[in-house]
Structure 1
């Protein structure tokens, strides 16, 4: 097949960019419908030489076919890139043919998703691989609803990267300047809310989007997946630009004052452009882009004309305006004429709008800044006196406001400010799904210091320790600031009471932080050459668990501080059971007393204890349950604690012992050889007749004492060690078994246990839950078991919830175990049936 007018492009230099335009031949398909094979069969005489570096056919609906020949000289790279540097073409199709065979074919353009382009780039890139001294035919088919141009080059990938870097630098500078000016003036508009700045930032934004669309950056980065918008964007954005430019011109030059008729014309032009922008969303792009380009040219001329009229009348802002729009108009004219094919595509015509626009937006931005300064100077003198008076008034009001919200001695926020800040803090905690904690912090025994040193010295010391407390509170995680722009998180409620608000994910996190605060405040204070210890008591109430308003949270925290006084801890979280003033607590204690005198509400559940070596059930633990007729199932940790605080624990323990021993007697009569474990309280050990009453109950039911085990916690023994040891020894001498419950969470050691008359050690469930996953827990449990065995004690593990943990404990030598994996607590009748089932399976 012959190639009239088409010369072969010989690739003999890998270091330069080769323009393929002069080597192209073109065939124009008027109907834009011929397939590739039909075009290949056309006679040579229908092809015309292009000769130009950039073929430009203006706005045309025709299809354009181009072809040329390529040959690579030996010794050069085989990989090359074909670049079509006009990214707004709707349809670009490329074929590479060798010896009559198609070796590569690409179809791309604006009507194809960006992700399907051969190379991810704003321009159309086609990677080809050439064999030296082999002839190749390159064919292209191009069509577009906009202007049809074909700036086509051939270069190696390395050369393309070098050229691309040089092209991107001015582009980055241009777009960077537009973005900076856009953001700068947007902030000014947000600050002063003047329409002129809104018009300015909108027309600069439209200019920015338009230039990004022309350069292909919009399709590459902003709307790469939206073909419909890529097709419509140029017409819509350009019409929007005209809308806001017209409004800006009218506002900047204040034409509504000097030239009302011109002002009306510009506003009408803005309205027309807005309608065209809407119409461009649905009407054909080929029609709308021509209309929009003409409208943009008209708007630029009218804006410049308006500036010249205002300049003639002596308007100072018009000087900036005319200078800016003169160059911009020149750039728009060059670009528009090039689009219509009246000027060739070169650096000046392609980037004329960018050169003119960047000068225009910079100068206009300077003019806006000058306008602000001018108006500011005009207002300055008029406002100076008023500002001075307002300043004095504000200082006085600020001083009064500060004094009303802060404590005069310590300078900390007072209760009023704390209550004001609490509303927003509690709301944020609710929205985030977290807990809010009210920490009431009270210095212990401070009245003794005041009585010793006097109130003046006491005030000085209080200010000193309040500063320390403020710093320590500020370091806690989740602590909330009470004032915006302040580091103050500590409020001075009254006297020696302070408060803070904390937000955390769990109650455990809150308790951990509070304990850390208490430890930090144990450090000795040096004051007036004296070393003084001033510990703190911290009471905590939780929102919304304990209360839902400020006053109630404070009241609950005050109750928690009182609970600290009567406990061995320096941090206590509020509970209804510890609130001596709780109406429900008082009511429930009376109801608990009635429940002990009636049948049905109080019941005993029994949880089996398993010998881990023989896998036989050897005993049970009696657990008290209360089914309240109104409140339902009341957790034991609530009513037992309340019973301890009110003295009701004594008859309650006797009730449990009596029924547990009767049940044990009944089981033994049925041939069930089981041991019975019952929990007792520290208060039971301080009862004068507890031991005698216990032995009397054992004698009444004819039960061997060694089948009964009394369980008590480390804390119960540590409360009054001398009394506890005397009572426990008496009980043990009578044959009753004694077990230390919840070992590991208290303060005792295994060496101390050797002094106690105990037979059994129960490892707390917190060490057992994740025994198969926590190496540290395994080490602790192994050490505890070995040392307990050395002391001659049985070891019971509570909280077994998996077979893996059960097997792990057996391997570590643990004697007994209980937990949900073995069996949950159950009524006596159900336990018997369960035992039969287990023994049958065994």
Structure 2
């Protein structure tokens, strides 16, 4: 059953419909055929039984007719005057002659005359067995004398006869005429002709002595005798089944049976022809039904096949296919209409999904995924022509500040305005402007080299110089941009976009406006992929080292402070340069853990670093991540309390770029640190654009002049003027000044002349491990 189900499941729906329908039809036809056949068999047997009963009556009728004919002939003989005279006178010769002539005339085989006492007078059967015949005839006559109008069957000398007896009167009864008519083959043939039933006449006292006397069968079959011996109702003759009816005859001189038989096949022949016709009609009906079922199945399955093809087309993304069968009024038509509605609905949803997947809902610009696919296509197209292309990634400066102050709704409107302004600046075939995320945008410049990209960045920067006016608010915006070119900077779209973003983040960190990608900016190179986990491991396993670079008072030359610097002693790479992991730590935010480690280590060693007289300050650099962390002041306070060191023992150096990313939050953090007692210093002063604007607002105590001005002031008068002006400005504001980059004695002397408070540089000392610092300081102070 399971294999049959598996075979069906592997067929087409139309084939399965046809097979199931044909199976049902055949089941009905077979059931009907067997029911008809059983009914026919019952009818045939009933009809045969009825025919045999009729044949029995016909048999009786034939015997009666024979008896009547014999009786009439006997009456004629008995009424003959000459015969009566011969009987009266006892003329035996005349009597014998008359009996013989009369028997020959009517076909009676036995004729006899009996006296009134029923004693045999004369008989045509006289001979060697006169005594036996006389006895038989006497018995017959005795029986018939009781029913003169009747007849009687008797066995005489092995033959079967029908006897009648008529009185001879003159005028009294002077004798009896007894005539016996042989029951022969013609009588059985008449019965066969009249009823269509085979007749067999059997004799015998019991089943063991049955003898076949007469039969209408072509041959005398032993099967009839065997069937008669057991009284079987059926006889098999040459493979032909026959139904038999046994009629016992009350005969004298022995037992007689008439076996009436009718062939089942003969009676069933008309029905068999009907069954054959029914079979042919059934076969034709099955063929027609198969053809009709196939057509009906196609009528149903063809639209389903078309709908299946439609579903495959929909699955492949083709929604422009036509749906057939929609005009049908049946269930298939309803299904086709449902499919068409689904097709249009899915097409609309797909368009909406594609729009959401590839377009930014706020600005209407392509999103990152759309930009990425367009960039891939542009690179593939440019491979053949070898035409370069460039990607510019743009990020708005201080956009978070706009959201915090003016709200996100205003920020959204600002992004729309920025998108519109970028669209105005970027045109040309193949060029594209997209919004990647938040306030980050990307520009694709097809067939553009680095020089063309630089021109576009200048054009965009100039466009941002005009303030944006929205809802009666005027906002000054600037943007940091990174540029990466194909194929020089990357071979594929993802890497090109990534490196453009790296250059943008570097430009933002360095407040450079625009930077082109260089490998030195890439903190995601193969070498730095494992840096984050390695840095965590280094922090946990004591691989970090604290180095100190001394600061001296220019007036006395004494060591008054030291800048704490972090170094990484890698077990495989050796001493890792700070530039190989500090930028990466700033990008990932891990720099906050490094800052805390420096404070904890410096606080632990502070007491051991102090000279006999005075105090030694330790300067530690803070990053943007530190200033953006609202919990940072509290963490430093906890470290100071745990170590027992006063916050005044530390100077916190902050770069201008760290402040400018989010000035309000940075300012709040600096005020908290100042209130705790930390000395604050502006590092790399002079390299930014807004230092003077924030200098008067921030609670700083010190300015640190960038080494780019100090290192060349002995050769460049302009640098010397900048250093002099910065020192004067700081002193006027009540701030102390530290100059870094002192590479020789002349620079140190020049700074002393300009009243610079402190100096540091390689001329004084390079950064050294903190455990070497005390010995070096002793040697330095002894040498001055």
TM-score, length basis structure 2: 0.42
